[in-house]
């Protein structure tokens, strides 16, 4: 039986979100240790009649990595 790649992607995404949520619920612990990278200020294109804003910041923490690992283990057993 062939596994669905979208299911894996959604499980990993859910693992990141749930891990980040758990890390934010317990501040000041080792679960919140991590690195943030991306654009510190958004890029704004003002074209007169249209204004477009681009911005992306990614925060990788220990809790989100644990969430990814748990999601991959769950995907393996599905």
| pLDDT, tens digit only, all 78 positions of the chain | 577 889 999 999 999 999 989 988 988 888 889 899 998 888 999 999 999 999 999 889 999 999 999 999 999 988
Q: What is the pTM of this model?
A: 0.78
Please answer whether residues 70 and 61 qualify as being in contact, where contact means their C-beta atoms are separated by less than 8 angstroms. Answer: no
Distance CA 11, CA 28 (A): 27
What does the pLDDT read at residue 10? 94
Report, in angstroms and rounded to the nearest whole number, the Rg of the chain calculated over CA atoms. 17
From 64, 66, 78, select the one nearest 20 (Cα to Cα). Answer: 64
Round the average pLDDT of the chain to a whole number and report it.
90
Task: Map tokens 């911005």 to a residue.
Answer: 55
Q: What is the pLDDT of residues 5-25, one digit of tens each?
A: 899 999 999 999 999 899 889
Q: Where is 20: in which H helix or E strand?
A: helix 5-25
Distance CA 52, CA 27 (A): 34
């Amino acid at each position: 039986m062939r596994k669905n790649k979208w299911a894996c992607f959604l499980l990993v995404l859910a693992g990141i979100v749930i891990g980040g949520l758990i890390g934010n619920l317990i501040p000041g612990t080792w679960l919140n240790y991590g690195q943030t990278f991306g654009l510190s200020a958004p890029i704004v294109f003002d074209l007169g009649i249209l204004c477009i804003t681009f911005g992306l910041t990614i925060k990788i923490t220990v809790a989100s990595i644990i969430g990814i690992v748990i999601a991959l283990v769950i995907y393996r057993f599905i």
